[in-house]
Amino acid sequence: MGLLIASLLQLAALTAQAPPPPETPRPLSFQATLDAIRITVRPGQVATRQFRLTLDRDQQATQFKARVEDWWRSVDGKQSFYAEAGTLRRSCGQWVSINPVESSVKPGETLTIRITVTMPVEVQAGGFWCALTVDEVPDPLEAAGEGVGVRFVASVSTGIFVYVEPVQREAAILAIRLDGDEARIQVRNDGNAPLAIEGRIEFFAPEMTTPLATTELGRRTVLTEPSREGMLTAKLPSARVLPSGRYRVRAVLDFGADHYVGAERELELVREEVQERAAVP
């Protein structure tokens, strides 16, 4: 019994002296406005907007730095590229100023950034774009972890779109493809401004006038440079709703003009129906 008590006391002493376990950095958590800023302006006009970011209450004070830069996406939409303002011909970066540029945000506090767009007196018609990027600044005093690791910081970007009349909105559908469980619509921007394109795909069985199935396409912004092309994708309805077969596939796209653009193509759809059946009890 005495030995047990001695062991327990020894263990208690060891526990009291043990260094605290290394602290795992807390996940970063915040709320931010994600509105793309879209303004139609006349040459010489000034417009202002706001961006807000609120740090969660359980966070440590965090430094944020804002900047205006150019951005574009790969044709398939899977990659985004950011570069110094002025990299693109249609950059609006040179007309946009922000305040503040850098700020420390306390837990529960909101960072408000004022965005001012000052248009020059002489400017080409059409659309211009850039992005407001707000980056978390890594804490230089935070100790590097042991071993091999990745340290994350967070960044929010919202698009700034400036339109100078006359704005021409024109779009063309280049291709309709079915690939696995995905439908892909390749589009081209034939106008002079970025287009926010969304829409739907309808699947018609032969001889049918009403669609057997419809699927919505997520919105995609298609720019005028460095590429005028973009891809809209949608997950196909399940194989039970849309089994393998030959269909007339119709794409109907809303690109912000007073009319839609559409295209239709007959396509063979091959589904993995065996797996689909196996999933059904």
> Which residue from 165, 166, 219 is spatially nearest to 195, judged by alpha carbons?
219
Token pair 């958590």: residue: 29
Contact by Cβ (8 Å): 5, 11 = no
Cα dihedral 93, 95, 99, 100, rounded to 10, equals: 30
Shortest separation between residue 124's beta carbon and another protein, angstroms = 22
- Considering only 56, 102, 266, 276, the residue that binds another protein (CB under 8 A) is 56
User: How many residues contact another protein, by CB under 8 A?
Assistant: 58
Apex CA 46: angle with CA 38 and CA 155, to 5°? 50
Closer to another protein by Cβ: residue 44 or 152: 152
Shortest separation between residue 201's beta carbon and another protein, angstroms = 13
- Considering only 33, 63, 227, 238, the residue that binds another protein (CB under 8 A) is 33
When asked if residue 138 is in the footprint of another protein (CB under 8 A), the reply is: yes
- Considering only 3, 78, 209, 274, the residue that binds another protein (CB under 8 A) is 78
When asked if residue 159 is in the footprint of another protein (CB under 8 A), the reply is: yes
When asked if residue 204 is in the footprint of another protein (CB under 8 A), the reply is: no
- The CA distances from residue 275 to 63, 181, 237, 239, 245, in Å, are 50, 13, 15, 10, 17
- Distance, in Å, from the CA atom of 187 to the CA atom of 217, rounded to the nearest integer, reads 12
Find the part of the chain contacting another protein (CB under 8 A) among 100-108, 118-126, 141-149, 206-214. Answer: 141-149
Apex CA 37: angle with CA 31 and CA 41, to 5°? 160
Task: State the amino acid at position 61 in one-letter form.
Answer: A
Cα 257 → chain centroid:
23
- Considering only 39, 75, 252, 267, the residue that binds another protein (CB under 8 A) is 252
Per the omega criterion (within 30 degrees of 0), is the bond before 100 cis? yes
For 95, which DSSP code? Answer: G
When asked if residue 28 is in the footprint of another protein (CB under 8 A), the reply is: yes
Closer to another protein by Cβ: residue 47 or 252: 252
- Considering only 66, 111, 113, 156, the residue that binds another protein (CB under 8 A) is 156
What does the binding site for another protein look like in residue numbers (CB under 8 A)?
24-36, 52, 56, 71, 74, 77-82, 131, 135, 138, 144-159, 198, 216-219, 221, 235, 252, 254, 258-264
